[in-house]
Amino acid sequence: LARALGIPAAMGVVDLPISQLNDQEVVVDGYRGLLIVRPVGSYRQELLRLAQEEAQLTAELTSLRDLPAETSDGVKIGLYVNIGLLADMAPSKTVGAEGIGLYRTEVPFQIRKQFPGEAEQAVIYREALEAFRDKSVVLRTLDVGGDKPLSYFPIKEDNPFLGWRGIRLVLDHPEIFLTQIRAMLRASIGLDNLSILLPMIGSVDELETSKEYIFQALSELREEGETVAPPRIGVMIEVPSAVYQIEAIAEMVDFLSIGTNDLTQYILAIDRNNERVAARYDALHPAVLRAIVDVVEAGHMLGREITVCGELAGDPMGAILLLGMGIDVLSMSAGSLPRIKWVIRSFTHSDARTLLVAALNCRRPGDIRQLLYQALDERGLGGLVRAGR
C-alpha cells in the first residue's frame, strides 16, 4: 500500500522509542530500510540532497507515460498494475498502466465488517472493469488466511501460511466462492475484459473443482436470463507443487500469473514477515529464478500468456531478468511502473538475455545483485536501486 501511494516505508524497525520522537525530525530511508532520527550537519545536508534528487527523478519519469515499454531492439512487454481499492484506479491511469494485472479482491472484504453480498461485490468489480474497459482486468478470487485475515471470519492455526488459505478456504466454503464468481460474471455483462485468477492452486484437483464452480455460476446466470460471456481463467503459480506440475496446469487454463512473493517464501522455506529470518528472503535467489524459468518455458510451449505480479516485477533488477526470460506482462504497484518502463527502454532484449544467463550461473543472490547493479549503473540507472543519482 505504501509503495502504491509513493510513501517511503521501512519495515521491521525494532526498539523504536515512539514516545521520544514527538516533534523530532526523522528521515525514512526506504532503500536501506532505515529510520534516521535527528540527522545533523553535513549528513543532514546529504540526506536533503538525496531527497531532492529523488523528487527530480520522479518528475522526469512522468515524461515516459505515453511511451511504450519497449526495448531498444523492439521487444515489447505489457506493464500492468496491482490494485486493491477503487482509489488505486486514478494513479494507475496517471502512470499509463496498460491494464490491471492483479485486483486483490480480498481488500474490499478486509475493510468491511461482514461478507459483502453478490450485488455489492458486483458494483465494485464493475467499476474496475469499466475503468479499464478497453484493457485486460484480472480479478483474483478471495485470497485470505496466512497474513491476510478477516476480522469476521477468524482463523487460528499454528502454521497459517501452510494452512487454510486462498483457494483451499473457498473450496471448503463454496457458498463464498460461488457468490464471488457470480458477482464477477455479473459485473462483466456487456464487457469482454474479465479474467479470473485463482490463488494458491497446488494441484490439478483444486483447479478442476474451481473451474467446475466457475462454469456452474456461468450456467446459473444464463438460466436467469443474463447474457454472460465466459471469462479467461488463470492460475497463480506460487507453490512448488504447481511449478512441478506446470504442464498439466497450463493445459487447463488460459494464462499463468507467477506470484513471486509466496513462491519465494515457499521455495526458500522463509516467512518473509518473521524479522528473525526475513533478511534471508530474496526473490533473486538462484533457486527461485530457475523455478520461474521453468514455468515460463513450459507455459510458452503451450502458448500461454505469462504474467509476473509479485514484488520482483516492480524491482528494477528483477525486471531485467524477467525481460530476459520472455515474460509477457509485468504487474506492479503504480508507483513502480515508470521506473520499470525506464529500465526496459534502456536495455535490449539481447542484453537482458545475456544477463539472465550470467545470473543463472551465479551461486549466491548477492552475486546476482552485484551483476545487475553494475548493468543498471552503467546505463545511468543506479538511482533506481539506491538514493540519489
Q: What's 166's domain CATH number? A: 3.20.20.60
Q: Are the CB atoms for 242 and 263 separated by under 8 Å? A: no
Cell numbers 535527528 correspond to 38
- Domain assignment present for residue 38? The answer is no
The residue ranges of DSSP E strands in the chain, in sequence order, are 26-29, 34-37, 78-83, 99-104, 136-140, 194-198, 232-237, 255-258, 305-308, 329-332
Q: Which three cell numbers stand for residue 66?
A: 505515453
- Domain assignment present for residue 19? The answer is no
The number of distinct structural domains making up the chain is 1
Find the domain containing 96 and state its range.
Answer: 56-384
Q: Are the CB atoms for 197 and 236 separated by under 8 Å? A: yes
pLDDT tens track of the chain, all 389 residues?
676 667 888 877 777 777 777 888 888 888 777 888 888 888 888 888 888 877 777 777 888 889 999 999 999 999 999 999 888 898 999 999 999 999 999 999 999 999 999 999 999 999 999 999 999 999 999 999 877 788 888 888 878 888 899 999 999 999 999 999 999 999 999 999 999 999 999 999 999 999 999 999 999 999 999 999 999 999 999 999 999 999 999 999 999 999 999 999 999 999 988 888 988 999 999 999 999 999 999 999 999 999 999 999 999 999 999 999 999 999 999 989 999 999 999 999 999 999 999 999 999 999 999 999 999 999 989 888 876 55
Q: Are the CB atoms for 201 and 236 separated by under 8 Å? A: yes
Question: What is the value of pTM for the model shown?
Answer: 0.91
- Domain assignment present for residue 322? The answer is yes
- Domain assignment present for residue 152? The answer is yes
- Domain assignment present for residue 6? The answer is no
DSSP character string of 325-373: HT-SEEEE-TTTHHHHHHHHHHS-HHHHHHHHHHHHT-SSHHHHHHHHH
Residues 120 and 140: their CA atoms lie apart, in Å, by 17
- Domain assignment present for residue 41? The answer is no
- Domain assignment present for residue 9? The answer is no
At residue 217, the pLDDT reads 99
Residues 321 and 296: their CA atoms lie apart, in Å, by 12
> Residue 375 has what DSSP assignment?
H
- Domain assignment present for residue 2? The answer is no
